[in-house]
Structure 1
């Protein structure tokens, strides 16, 4: 990246990165990692066999000294190899998705940060990966380094002094202020990545499943910062690794951004309003305006295109195919198949009648958990901030960087209002009315700030909302069966509606 400042080259990597030592290290860790990786929240292959590991790179960020006076820090990129599924057919009723979809243990590259100590302190016992029985780290404790405040702080220090370390490169945005030695804490509860908060000033997101190319969670906030959009925190620093193969792009490994203390995410605020039986219309309206501002800035900063008949028909066909696959995997969908198909047929008919739409770079996974607002006794007021531009992490990077119609983001937020209402303890007619009012207010706010009414092309919005609900059914059936009723309530509603645009 060209936006680093005052680069300086670090000393050559220590002998640990030599091919022979790296191979010996991985062999000694393979058994431990094969047991540890599937238990991590961010591992994409839950419930699927792991066939093996290959080493992409290993870097000794902090020396693993024999005397153990300070902890060592190793950075590894490892590639997982898929194994054969020997489970009985009854255990495979919800099949694994195609390549790149959630839940598959495929040919993926993972970023690992491992601490090394002779003896692990009791406070870090939960982070233990294991103790190698042989190899360069024989008998020492290997553990998740981000759980160790001392090692997490070392990463922050690397951003203060941009440069390279073996295959790793550290960059810093011009003019960014990075504090010295603030306390570090690893956040709990994430699914696809790991985040460390430094004091009250910064948060570092470490991507776990990585691939060549710039991650949208770095690319888009940088573009928005250049465009002067203040709805999104501008990156302060980031780090990358050289591509695993000759000619491939660098891989984005992590992004350091300003932290926003005292904020609650939209899901907390929405469910809090539901618990108080409070209206959320004003908050949803301002959130719609915030979404439109971000979309407008992205459209001005990055290339856009117009989707005509062929592209929209291809989109409708892909939605049909996803529905077919989902109904094969989740029998509960089958009674609603014909009604759901009407949404996609209406999109294809819209295209045949000369319909078109603009496509641009988007958030890609917009929902109430991806927006922040200052929290308070009144349930949250103030300015909305949009975060987490990674898109759907399970999708291939090229797909996440592809321009899409803005209604894709809008449909995701509309589904999120429904999720909040359906999860409310007193869900029923009042909660359903709350969701309808919030959805309407959000669309009105978007139309006012963006100049385009999301309801102006009902075929597009309905198709994308239906496609999102179908995805949710497949996800919940595979990962959270207790939540399956949430998207199924939307499936019943969408399947029963008359065809979008039928009044025309």
Structure 2
């Protein structure tokens, strides 16, 4: 058995960490060389990996160099860059299959969607606990910067031209995802329901936010519970727009800016929402992406010292450019029906509630962002 598989077996239930130098490079080398994958491991390939051969100016040590992203990058999993060409994302802990990422990446590759890190392969392992996803192997995007960084720069500088590109990217993503097999014949059909209860889920998010948000913020939120609940009302009616496979956690933090433009990443689903239906209105993704611009404005205010009026004005302009570009792209492709604009506002309110729940459970310091957005939408004089 090749040494990489022995090393992975020796890890047992654990995922590689920064202490396991060489594992990622060995895995990529084995995949590039077409080494047979022994049980209990399996590899699902999406597209051909790039060659790891060295240029004439580079020394060939026989072992591709690897490095991690560093502690400054906020990530749930552990990612390693191999030979400055490939990224291996180790899921920590390994995720139970079926998992959304492999099938999403496979579909996007087949649909010719280019605005993402090139998907290469998924590594799984089958044992007594069933099949689990160990790692995803994708392309490395040179000069890539996290959306929370580059977009905060844009907010601080008052630049909004980027929003047009983001709107087109989101539309192209949804156009590609709209060609997924419908729920009735999809491979994940047993776990899919078109009756995803949007009103009930939104009400549940509001109830949790009211329960978990304490102090002055909690009092403010409780005072506007009626107004927030009224905003969610459109979700109780019939949903006429098509239900498509969505990203599920689409915000600016999932949009990298790199030397080749913009790329959407992370198709793992929303870790804070349990049993989220894969097929939902495109407006769900669009609402989350749009409201994340308002979160960036709050980041700029708090961390960059940007004047509130300037930051909020920037967010409003960027939001309108994003939505306009998104609609225009759908119209160009003959699919304006994918977006029901009447669902944007209620999904945005639900998203802010989910942000408050996330802050309460996982990241208390984040609460300022969704609270800042809600306070801006509901000024003090209109409780």
User: TM-score per shorter chain, which class?
Assistant: 0.7 to 0.9
CA gap 1:254/1:395 in 2 versus in 1, 3 angstroms: farther
Q: Which residue of 1 aligns with 2:163?
A: 284
Please state if 1:344 is matched with 2:344.
no
Q: Aligned ranges for residues 184-333 of structure 1 at < 5 Å?
A: 184-188=66-70, 189-242=73-126, 244-245=128-129, 248=130, 250-275=131-156, 277-280=157-160, 282-303=161-182, 311=195, 314-331=197-214, 332=218, 333=221
SS of the residue corresponding to residue 372 of structure 1 reads strand
CA gap 1:453/1:327 in 2 versus in 1, 3 angstroms: farther
1:177 is displaced (CA, Å) by 2.8
CA gap 1:194/1:384 in 2 versus in 1, 3 angstroms: same
User: Does the 8 A contact of 1:360 with 1:404 survive in 2?
Assistant: yes
CA gap 1:254/1:453 in 2 versus in 1, 3 angstroms: same
SS of the residue corresponding to residue 264 of structure 1 reads coil
Q: Residues 405-450 of structure 1: CA distance to partner in whole angstroms, max 9, x if unpaired?
A: 1111111111211111111122411110000000000001100111
Q: Residues 437-481 of structure 1: CA distance to partner in whole angstroms, max 9, x if unpaired?
A: 000000011001112669974431111111110011122233333
User: Does the 8 A contact of 1:336 with 1:491 survive in 2?
Assistant: no
1:184 is displaced (CA, Å) by 0.4
User: Does the 8 A contact of 2:242 with 2:338 survive in 1?
Assistant: no
1:391 is displaced (CA, Å) by 1.4
Q: Which residue of 2 aligns with 1:473?
A: 356
CA gap 1:251/1:219 in 2 versus in 1, 3 angstroms: same
Q: CA RMSD in A?
A: 2.9
1:401 is displaced (CA, Å) by 6.1
Please state if 1:389 is matched with 2:270.
no
CA gap 1:356/1:239 in 2 versus in 1, 3 angstroms: same
Please state if 1:422 is matched with 2:294.
no
Q: Aligned ranges for residues 78-227 of structure 1 at < 5 Å?
A: 111-113=14-16, 144=17, 146-160=18-32, 161-173=34-46, 175-179=48-52, 181-188=63-70, 189-227=73-111
Bigger radius of gyration: 1
**Bigger shift: 200-209 or 433-442?**
200-209
Q: Distance in 2 between matches of 1:216 and 1:456?
A: 23
TM-score norm. by structure 1 comes to 0.63
Q: Aligned ranges for residues 363-374 of structure 1 at < 5 Å?
A: 363-374=247-258
Q: Distance in 2 between matches of 1:301 and 1:345?
A: 29
Please state if 1:334 is matched with 2:210.
no
Q: Residues 200-232 of structure 1: CA distance to partner in whole angstroms, max 9, x if unpaired?
A: 211011111334324322211211111111122
1:239 is displaced (CA, Å) by 0.7
1:369 is displaced (CA, Å) by 1.5
Q: Distance in 1 between matches of 2:140 and 2:30?
A: 18
Q: Distance in 2 between matches of 1:453 and 1:486?
A: 32
1:193 is displaced (CA, Å) by 0.8
User: Does the 8 A contact of 2:293 with 2:319 survive in 1?
Assistant: yes
User: Does the 8 A contact of 2:208 with 2:357 survive in 1?
Assistant: no
Q: Which residue of 2 aligns with 1:37?
A: none
User: Does the 8 A contact of 1:202 with 1:256 survive in 2?
Assistant: yes
TM-score norm. by structure 2 comes to 0.81
Q: Distance in 1 between matches of 2:5 and 2:64?
A: 23
CA gap 1:226/1:60 in 2 versus in 1, 3 angstroms: closer
Q: Distance in 1 between matches of 2:360 and 2:371?
A: 10
Q: Distance in 2 between matches of 1:73 and 1:493?
A: 53
Q: Residues 147-199 of structure 1: CA distance to partner in whole angstroms, max 9, x if unpaired?
A: 44333322223323343344222344454334263210122334321100012
Q: Residues 311-360 of structure 1: CA distance to partner in whole angstroms, max 9, x if unpaired?
A: 47x31122112211221121313222111101122322x43xxx512111
CA gap 1:328/1:401 in 2 versus in 1, 3 angstroms: closer
Q: Distance in 1 between matches of 2:272 and 2:39?
A: 28
Number of equivalences: 347
Which of residues 404, 415, 419 in structure 1 aligns to 2:280? 404
SS of the residue corresponding to residue 208 of structure 2 reads helix
Q: Distance in 2 between matches of 1:476 and 1:205?
A: 25
Q: Aligned ranges for residues 432-451 of structure 1 at < 5 Å?
A: 432-451=312-331
Which consecutive residues of structure 2, in runs of 5 or more, have no partner in the other structure?
54-62, 185-193
